Amino acid sequence: MGGTKRVLMLGDVVGEAGVAALEKRLPALIRATGADLVVANGENATGGFGIAAPELERILDAGVDVVTSGNHVWEKKGYAELLESEERLIRPANYPEGAPGRGSVLVEKSGVRWLVCNLQGRERMRAIDCPFRAGEKLAAAGAEALAVVLVDFHAESNEEKEALCSHLDGAVAAVVGTHTHVQTADARVSAKGTACLTDLGMCGPVDSVIGMKVDTCVRRSVSQMPLKMEVAEGAATIRGALVEIDPETRLAVSIEAVKD
């Protein structure tokens, strides 16, 4: 296989601004980083909540190989058909049996087998099946397939994210967090070779509150009224992480935060 491989993992793509930023700047970012595989969380791509076929197609056409998701993936009409028909779009693997779609996908690219996995947290979120046990099964499946295992853990709690990274330490190449839309500064590779980052951040509008219109978010906080959040517009940032992986050990060599 020759040399290390690089994976670009991008945070939640928020609204039109986030999708357009990927279309305009992702190809150059892939060249600059030398990424062999690109993964992005797309659950907020359509109007800030959920993902529909047009936005999914644009994200894939921009150069993303696998689109992960989370708790908002169910919010647009036709979600079940989309999850069933497009294997490059995955949903959290720890939803109960019978949920549409799949929680992981095996991709062969750049001479490497990649098992891209999606899990969802339970702290301050819906009490679905255990992400830790689901993660164990995914890691075992990756080992059996001789694949590099990458995990997008869509969770609210930093504690839960760090705990999952420790739980899967040495069994997967990377555990990176999504959902909060705020990039953290704790990128690291464990002694056993798992790259971890609590949250990748977002690909979305800069002048915003987690990608949403500032004035509405401020009024929600001040008034404590359940005002509907709307996605912001304008210039967007692209945030995520670049993970360098040894394809022989199928573990990480380095991880660095990405901001474009």
> Which of 72, 154, 179, 181 is labelled catalytic?
72
Q: Confirm if 174 and 237 have CB atoms less than 8 A apart.
A: no
Token pair for residue 215?
A: 């004035």
Helix H segments across the chain?
Answer: 15-33, 53-62, 79-85, 131-144, 158-167, 214-223
**Dihedral pair phi/psi, residue 37, rounded to 5°:** -145, 140
Is 72 one of the catalytic residues?
yes
Q: Are 18 and 204 in contact (CB under 8 A)?
A: yes
Beta strand ranges found along 121-246 (DSSP E): 148-154, 174-178, 188-189, 195-197, 202-205, 236-237, 239-246
The catalytic site residues sit at 72
